Amino acid sequence: MEKKIPEKIIVDSIEEEEKAIYRLILEQVPQNKIIQIECIVDGISRYHNPSDISKIKKKFENKNSENFNDDSYKEAKLFELYENGHDMVQAKIQTKYDTELIERIWGLYVKWKGIRIIPKSTYDDFMEHTLKWEHKYNDPSLNLSDMNIELTRQYFTITVDDDLRQD
């Protein structure tokens, strides 16, 4: 089913008109269809030529590209990467953002998600002992649940940081 293209755009300001035209561009309405649409801005009727449409498109694309350098955009991008399982190294490689920003947002992400970070050596020791405990007590007559072991593993595998040092 083909999307219905409006015959008229009735708005109160040129800014609203440009936004409406840009929405049509984003919806991939062909330029030859857009130039046929009557635009009524504050009671004044007008039509746009291909040059006008190109200028509107360029204006909005430049505004959108400026947002990519905005700090809140960068922070949101980093949160998205961390939420999708990326670490700080992967975030640096993908975004090339400032290291200080990457570390600051990682700290916020860990805090907000309630992630427990332990030194890798502690994690390795714990896992070694857990596996020994599992092997030693994996006796069906003791009725130990594999779920308890798995929950313990999950608790410590949420995040492990190689850089943390134990004093």
pLDDT at 88: 92
Mean pLDDT of 18-22: 89
pLDDT at 165: 44
In a domain, residue 167? The reply is: no
Total number of domains constituting the chain: 3
pLDDT at 58: 86
For 39, the enclosing helix (H) or strand (E) is: strand 38-41
Q: Are residues 46 and 95 in the same domain?
A: no
Q: Are residues 128 and 104 in the same domain?
A: no
In a domain, residue 3? The reply is: no
Per-residue pLDDT of 23-70, as tens digits, reads: 888 888 888 999 999 999 988 999 999 999 989 888 887 765 555 567
Instruction: Give the Cβ contact number of residue 120 at 10 Å.
Output: 14
Per-residue pLDDT of 99-154, as tens digits, reads: 999 999 999 998 888 887 777 787 777 777 766 666 666 655 554 556 566 666 66
In a domain, residue 13? The reply is: yes
> Which residues is 117 bridged to in the sheet?
159
Is the separation of the CB atoms in 111 and 79 below 8 Å? no
In a domain, residue 166? The reply is: no
In a domain, residue 125? The reply is: yes
| Domain membership of residue 51 as a residue range | 8-67
User: What is the model's pTM?
Assistant: 0.41
For 118, the enclosing helix (H) or strand (E) is: strand 117-119
Mean pLDDT of 149-167: 56
From first CA to last CA, the distance across the chain in angstroms is 67
Q: Where a domain ends, among 113, 131, 146?
A: 113
pLDDT at 155: 64
In a domain, residue 1? The reply is: no
Torsion, Cα of 129, 133, 136, 137 (10° steps): 180
Q: Are residues 37 and 62 in the same domain?
A: yes
- 8 phi, psi to nearest 5 deg: -135, 150
In a domain, residue 21? The reply is: yes
pLDDT at 1: 47
Q: Are residues 16 and 59 in the same domain?
A: yes
Q: Are residues 63 and 26 in the same domain?
A: yes
pLDDT at 166: 46
Q: Are residues 124 and 157 in the same domain?
A: yes
pLDDT at 124: 77
CA–CA separation, 85 vs 75, rounded Å? 16
Q: Are residues 63 and 96 in the same domain?
A: no
